[in-house]
């Protein structure tokens, strides 16, 4: 993993956008060259002073061999932007992650997939619907993507697992921890069933609140469409919706009880033109047309 330590270094840089890093990579070809650049070299790259300081920050270059050793010991793979397994769908978004850290099967990342997202504090109705849609889509060889969070995410993953099919969890922290902690069993079941759990964050990264909106661009970016099951009027789920719309993804919304706050966001999306679905066939008809299932 000697060359991979330079990719790990890149992924540790916090205050430089993936897009800006990719622009530098396109010029230099590989991260090792960038790793060895001096301040004088970087001054000519049209970078701000703070951005140059970030690249040169010695803290990011420490313990790289230990990161590699930990990952090898714990079966954490790293997929770089130029790796053949790096998902083409992610390359098409505005700011694709520089690397993907992964536990599980990397081969499934480029398969047909639907993301299912929604409230953490979901209703019994939301749980049933999320699990049902995930189960039925999985039975048609469509991978289920979600964020391994409480609520709708959890039941979406469970639905796929109950169908004996693959699901992909996308984390907002390093893969050396599980957040929330009560989903440790679910995390292991996803990996052991031939699915995958991924993150753009290096091991040791805590589940900071700022990580999850960024995580959401990967949930939508890796999918061929996004299903929303319950969202409050100002739900974090709507961040994923915004990313999905920007990325040109199909958006499917489950209607809800007009008296329940968990339905305000979803019902508003329907009023704004999102495709309302009342059964899984409403999604599958698009997939049969577009993907020749």
For 198-256, the pLDDT digits (tens) are 999 999 999 999 999 999 999 999 999 999 999 999 888 999 999 999 999 999 999 99
pLDDT confidence of 46, banded at 50, 70, 90? confident
Average pLDDT over residues 26-31: 89
Residue percentage of the chain with pLDDT more than 90: 88
Say which range, 97-101, 142-146, 243-247, 289-293, has the weakest mean pLDDT.
289-293
Asked if the model's pLDDT at residue 293 lies above 70, the reply is no
pLDDT at 291: 54
Please say if the pLDDT value at position 90 is more than 60.
yes
Write down all domains in the chain, each with its CATH number in brackets.
Answer: 4-104 (no CATH), 106-291 (3.40.50.450)
Residue 211, SS3 per DSSP: helix
Q: What is the pLDDT of residues 137-179, one digit of tens each?
A: 999 999 999 999 999 999 999 999 999 999 999 999 999 999 9
User: Is there a contact between 98 and 7 (Cβ–Cβ < 8 Å)?
Assistant: yes
- Helical packing angle, 124-138 and 281-291, nearest 10°: 30
What is the rounded CA–CA span in Å between residue 23 and residue 247? Answer: 20
**If pLDDT is split at 50, 70 and 90, which confidence band does 287 have?**
confident
HSE, CB side, 13 Å, CA atoms: give it for residue 105.
16
pTM reported for the whole predicted model: 0.95
When pLDDT is averaged across residues 38-60 and rounded to a whole number, the result is 91
Query: What is the number of other CB atoms lying within 10 angstroms of the CB of residue 15?
Result: 10
Q: Is 1 a residue whose pLDDT tops 80?
A: no
Q: Specify the higher pLDDT residue, 277 or 289.
A: 277
- In this predicted structure, what is the pLDDT of residue 45? 83
- DSSP labels, 52-112: HHHHH-GGGGTTHHHHHHHHHHTT-EEEETTSTTS-HHHHTSSS--SEEEEEE-GGGGGS-
């Amino acid at each position: 993993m000697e060359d991979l330590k330079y990719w790990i270094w890149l992924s540790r840089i916090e205050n430089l956008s993936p897009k800006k890093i990719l622009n530098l990579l396109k010029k230099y070809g590989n991260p090792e060259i960038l790793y060895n650049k001096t301040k004088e070299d970087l001054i000519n790259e049209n970078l701000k002073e703070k951005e140059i300081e970030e690249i040169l920050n010695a803290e990011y270059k420490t313990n790289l061999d230990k990161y590699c050793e930990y990952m090898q010991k714990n079966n954490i793979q790293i997929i770089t932007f130029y790796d053949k397994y790096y998902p083409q769908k992610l390359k098409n978004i505005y700011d694709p992650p520089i690397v993907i850290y992964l536990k599980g099967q990397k081969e499934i990342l480029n398969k047909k997939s639907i993301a299912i997202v929604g409230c953490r504090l979901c209703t019994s109705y939301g749980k049933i619907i999320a699990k049902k849609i995930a189960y039925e889509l999985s039975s048609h060889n469509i991978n289920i993507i979600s964020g391994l969070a409480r609520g709708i995410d959890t039941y979406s993953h469970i639905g796929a697992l109950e169908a004996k099919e693959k699901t992909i969890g996308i984390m907002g922290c390093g893969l050396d921890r599980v957040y929330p902690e009560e989903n440790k069993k679910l995390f292991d079941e996803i990996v052991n069933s031939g699915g995958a759990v991924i993150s753009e964050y290096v091991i040791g990264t805590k589940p900071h609140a700022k990580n999850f909106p960024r995580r959401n661009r990967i949930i939508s970016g890796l999918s061929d469409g996004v299903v929303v099951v319950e969202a409050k009027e100002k739900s974090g789920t709507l961040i994923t919706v915004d990313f999905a719309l920007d990325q040109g993804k199909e958006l499917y919304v489950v209607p809800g009880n007009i008296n329940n706050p968990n339905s305000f966001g979803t019902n508003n999306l329907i009023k704004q033109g999102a495709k309302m679905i009342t059964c899984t066939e409403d999604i599958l008809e698009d997939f049969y047309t577009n993907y020749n299932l």
